[in-house]
Each structure stands twice: as structure tokens, then as C-alpha cells.
Copies of this chain bind each other. A is one copy, B any other.
């Protein structure tokens, strides 16, 4: 189905926009590629799927501000899934596949819940900022009306609204 191109750590790092150190650190925490058995000292290899996964982790970190510890918790179930990942490709057992899918769903649901919650909070925040901005502009209008624009020498009349 996919051209299982083997990527090296440097390529993955560049594409995702992190350093190789970060990738190794994440592996150390059990967030990445601990699955693929690797002869000691040999280079790490990654797939496109790994790249996507890493990008997801980075987004959970940057957008939701989760600590790596929290991400580990969140992804714990997915770890099992990732471990089974290899099976997916080679294991045509429908029963197994069903179990994998059923294990993945609640994980995505939890992530979605977190994102939605953050969206709500940000909605409130932007609402308050808009109100504040409106108040300030209103106040500016009142004050500007009370004061003939005498002093300001070079403020072109291109003010907003």
C-alpha cells in the first residue's frame, strides 16, 4: 500500500522542525519508536507514519501546552496501538484489526475533547478582548470629540473606523 521508505533521524527532524535530540528524547520517554527492535548501535529508521505521529505530538505540546508527561499519559493507549502497528501491515486478521481500531477511537476522542475545551476557553478570551477593545475605542471617540486635534502634526487622517 505504501512505499515503506526508511527515513533516518536527521530527515525526520528536519521535516518536522525539531532536532534529533528531541526525537531521541521522546523515544527515551516512550513516545516514539521504542517499538521497532534495533540492533544495538545501528541507525534508527522511521516511516512516514512516524513523521505524522511526531507532528501530532508536537502539536499537542505546542497548541495545548501539554507536558511530555501528560502526552505520555494520553498516548499510552496509542503506544499499545503503535506496538500493534506492525501487526496491522502484516496481520490480515479482521478480528485483530477491529480491536486495534477500537483501541484507537477513545484516544482520538480524548484528544478532541481537550482541543475543544481549549477552543472554548480561547473563545471566552477573545470575547473579552473584543469587549475591551470596543470600550477603549469608544472612550477614544469621546475623548477625541472633547479635544480638537490641535497638536498632532503628522498623523495622517487614516485612522480606523
Contacts and interface: CB of A to CB of B under 8 A. Distances in A.
A119 interface: yes
Total identical chains: 2
B130 A112 contact: yes
Given A116-B126, A126-B115, A62 B65 contact: yes
* Size bracket of the A interface: 35 or more
A80 to B, nearest CB: 15
A38 interface: no
Interface of A: 59, 62-63, 65, 94-95, 97-98, 101-102, 104-105, 108-109, 111-112, 115-116, 118-119, 121-123, 125-126, 129-130, 132-133, 136-137, 139-140, 143-144, 146-147, 151
